[in-house]
Amino acid sequence: MKKVLIIGAGAQGTVISWVLSRASDVSEVVLGDIDLSRMKEIVETNKSSKLKIEKLDASDVNGMTKLMKDRKFDLVVNATLPRFNELIIEACYKAKTNYQDLAANECFIEGEGPLTDQLRFAKKWEEASLKALILAGSDSGTTNIMAKEAAEELDEVDSIRIKDYAITECDKPIVLWQPQTYLEDLASPGRYWDNGYKKAPPFSGEEEYDFPLPIGTKGIVYYHSHEEPVTIPKFIGKPVKYVDFKMGEPASLVWKSIIDLNLMSEEPVEVDGQRIAPRKLFLKILPPTPTPKELIELVNSGRLFSRLVLTVDVSGRKNDQELHYQLWTDGPNSTQACERIPGASDVSYATSVSGAIFALMMLRGQVNHTGVFPPEVFNKEERGTYFKEMREWGIKIHKRAEMLL
């Protein structure tokens, strides 16, 4: 029987703790955070006797190391803000505990050196025969697996184009993902690979895309600061000429206006004799991600409905024939997600069910790699296990191939 520590009691921790506490081969799930009230609410909605809580400071390496050693966890899942990645990785290394996260804090796309903050630790983790599965959520995570699934069938890969599109309807301002991370990404240059790492201005590269069902509509997407174009060219297993990641939603122009008005600027401005950074003020007044009980109320009252789709288009050649693959996700909408896992949205469900499945694969010895690595290193057997588990949780991955004349 396995024991897991989840660090972070936000939207991700809510869902990951639900899935892992329902696994027959997991005996204990400990949720660690500095916010006791949020953890207690997750326990109330989760209702599993396997789920325990522990007050934990993700900036305290020694405290985390001690807890990991004392409780002898088989895996630590980092579901908190990416800025804590290096601290949690260091604690896991000291405790000799395998590690998993869902996002990067920094990506390096110029010159030599690590590609993400987590990869600074690659050499010593490999030498210690420890496993650190990074960027293992939906995007990145599911998208990387989808890209590998198509790329492996091609002799040559010309392009991998990833898109995230969501439609959210609510009668009040709402952010279904950690608002600080989301807005920082929106305000940062987009990243893409074009026979080398490149940057694009925020909200550039506008593209209209015809999204398949469950969205079933055209939507506008833009270059976005994300990890896939950084890691895929190095870890996909074969050369690729072009990789990009674009994101959009009907409210994209609202977010663009916020960036254009410099509301995400860190440069202080003077207001009535006080100097304050616009970003600090804006993030202070922006509503936080709903708690599980708040989200349940919003969904049950009909005030919130949202739907997400991820697509991956891969083009290249096999046996001198031009081929194009389109893969896309088909998972629960916000109503269905909250019915399956109380307190989940479609966004947290897609990301964190995927993260939980990656965690179960790590716990069950179904991930056959050591060191620090992203999901696109998975082989056919590992991908098959992942797709099967995703289907069992109601997330289908569709795949369509066509020959190009």
Kind of pairing between the strands at 98-101 and 131-133? parallel
| Tens place of pLDDT per residue across the chain (405 aa) | 999 999 999 999 999 999 999 999 999 999 999 999 999 999 999 999 999 999 999 999 999 999 999 999 999 999 999 999 999 999 999 999 999 999 998 887 666 566 899 999 999 999 999 999 999 999 999 999 999 999 999 999 999 999 999 999 988 877 777 777 777 788 889 999 999 999 999 999 999 999 998 899 999 999 999 999 999 999 999 999 999 999 999 888 888 888 888 888 888 888 888 898 888 888 888 888 888 899 999 999 999 999 999 999 999 999 989 999 999 999 999 999 999 999 999 999 999 999 999 999 999 999 999 999 999 999 999 999 999 999 999 999 999 998 876
Question: What's the CATH code of the domain at 216?
Answer: 3.30.360.10
Which pLDDT score is estimated for 146? Answer: 98
With tokens 């983790």, the residue in question is: 125
Q: CA-CA distance, 143 to 326, in Å (whole number)? A: 12
Domain annotation covers residue 324: yes
Kind of pairing between the strands at 207-210 and 131-133? unpaired
**pTM metric for this prediction:** 0.94
CA angle (147, 308, 298) in 5-degree steps: 150
* Domain of residue 233, residue span: 142-344+396-403
CB environment 331-368: b (16+ within 10 A), e (fewer):
bbbbbbbbebbbbbbbbbbbbbbbbbbbbbbbbeebbe
Domain annotation covers residue 90: no
Domain annotation covers residue 174: yes
Which pLDDT score is estimated for 110? Answer: 61
Domain annotation covers residue 55: no
- Please name the residues in contact with 170: beta carbons below 8 A apart, sequence gap of 6 or more: 298, 303, 304, 305, 306
Structure tokens at 373: 């690595």
Q: CA-CA distance, 86 to 91, in Å (whole number)? A: 9
Which pLDDT score is estimated for 33? Answer: 97
Which pLDDT score is estimated for 286? Answer: 80
Domain annotation covers residue 43: no
The β-bridge partners of 137 are: 141
Domain annotation covers residue 168: yes
Domain annotation covers residue 85: no
Domain annotation covers residue 131: no
Structural domains of the chain, count: 1
CA angle (114, 125, 160) in 5-degree steps: 45
The neighbour count for residue 147, using CB atoms within 10 Å, is 27
Which pLDDT score is estimated for 199? Answer: 92
